[in-house]
Amino acid sequence: MKTRLRWTKNVLLFGGSAIWGLLLISCVMTNRTIVAPPSVAGATFVGSGECADCHENVTSSFHDATHAKMMVNGENGGEIGCEACHGPGSLHVRSGGGAGTIVNPGSSPETCYQCHTDKRGEFSLASSHPIGEGKMSCSDCHDPHNGDAVAGGVSSLQGVNDSCVKCHVQQGGPYVFEHEASREGCVVCHSPHGSMNAKMLKSRNANLCLQCHFQEQTATGLLIGGRDHAAFLNRGTCWSAGCHEAVHGSHISSSLRF
């Protein structure tokens, strides 16, 4: 289920200066949440326009990005964009990019969690990508500056797969016997952030597979894929040892057994 956040009127500016302490986000599905952008000691907000002078490569394509919506709403909307994630930039601009003057969320997910509060929980589940430990960052899979924040677009599952197989080369194949399920996307079976089930699976049992393979009780038995599976289903999961172990694809077994 996709939660849509929408910017209200939408940013509170405190005083005439460019200091804003709180962003007000109204969320269509839940109550209002107040989130604070990251802070930098002693710095004030200067607006995205200032960043273009030195980071043209980032600002030039930003207008199409998911988070650029943070730039366009409201009277002072143009003031927020970049600094919503990078924090107030006055010291950074004045020092011409001095070390330690700006927040880089690439090295910590905390900035993202400030607005996407539900994601902290997903990454704390028993089986999850090691974001908290600093081994990975949100931007390994989401480009904050260009286009749709979900790599390749949420609608383009091929784009999502490409981002997964960058690191998980083996599961991407190619295989002699492909499992067509992967063409639908790794996220048909895996939760990309985390899950209560081992291997970040969306389901711990046959339901994972029965999303697409139907079972039918007939006079000859419990048919799945045209074969009686009644006895097999007591052995464990569909991908247990001796069953469809090569669930991502196989070089030798058309029925993905090894």
d(CA 95, CA 8): 33
Contacts of 14 (CB under 8 A, 6+ apart): 20, 21
For the bound state, the minimum distance from the C-beta of residue 220 to ligand HEC, rounded and expressed in Å, comes to: 18
Q: Which two tokens stand for residue 168?
A: 């998980």
Q: How many CA atoms lie within 13 A of 252 on its CB side?
A: 3
Around Cβ 111, how many Cβ atoms within 10 Å?
Answer: 21
Exposure string for 89-110, b = 16+ CB within 10 A, e = fewer: bbbbbeeeeeeebbbebeebbe
**Is 112 one of the binding residues for ligand HEC (CB under 6 A)?**
yes
At its nearest, how many Å lie between ligand HEC and the CB of residue 150? 5
Q: In this structure, what token pair is assigned to residue 84?
A: 């919503």
| Sites for ligand HEC among residues 149-208 (CB under 6 A) | 149-150, 154, 160-161, 163-168, 171-172, 179-182, 184, 186-190, 192-193, 199-201, 208
Give residues 71-100 in contact with ligand HEC (rule: CB under 6 A): 81-86, 89, 92-93, 96-97
Site for ligand HEC in 31-50 (CB under 6 A): 35, 37, 46, 48, 50
**Least distance in Å: CB of 15 to ligand HEC?**
19
From the list 9-17, 143-151, 215-223, 228-236, the region that binds ligand HEC by CB under 6 A is 143-151
Whole-angstrom Cα distance, residue 175 to residue 251?
A: 6
Q: Which is closer to ligand HEC, CB of 20 or CB of 256?
A: 256
Q: How is residue 14 written in tokens?
A: 């405190």
Q: Which is nearer to ligand HEC, 75 or 215 (by Cβ)?
A: 215
Q: How far is the CB of 253 from ligand HEC (least distance, A)?
A: 8
Among 40, 144, 194, 229, binds ligand HEC (CB under 6 A): 144
Residue 154 token pair: 């949420």
Query: Which among 10-18, 108-116, 214-222, 228-236 is the span making contact with ligand HEC, rule CB under 6 A?
Result: 108-116
The number of beta carbons lying within 10 Å of the beta carbon of residue 121 is 12
In the list 23, 40, 43, 91, the residue contacting ligand HEC (rule: CB under 6 A) is: 23
Report if residue 22 touches ligand HEC, rule: CB under 6 A: no
Residue nearest ligand HEC (C-beta atom): 97
The residue from 20, 115, 194, 229 that contacts ligand HEC (CB under 6 A) is 115
Q: How far apart are the first and last CA of the chain?
A: 35
What is the spatial distance between Cα 209 and Cα 56, in angstroms, rounded to a whole number?
47
Q: Which residue has the tokens 């028993």?
A: 126
With binding defined as CB under 6 A, does residue 27 bind ligand HEC?
Answer: no
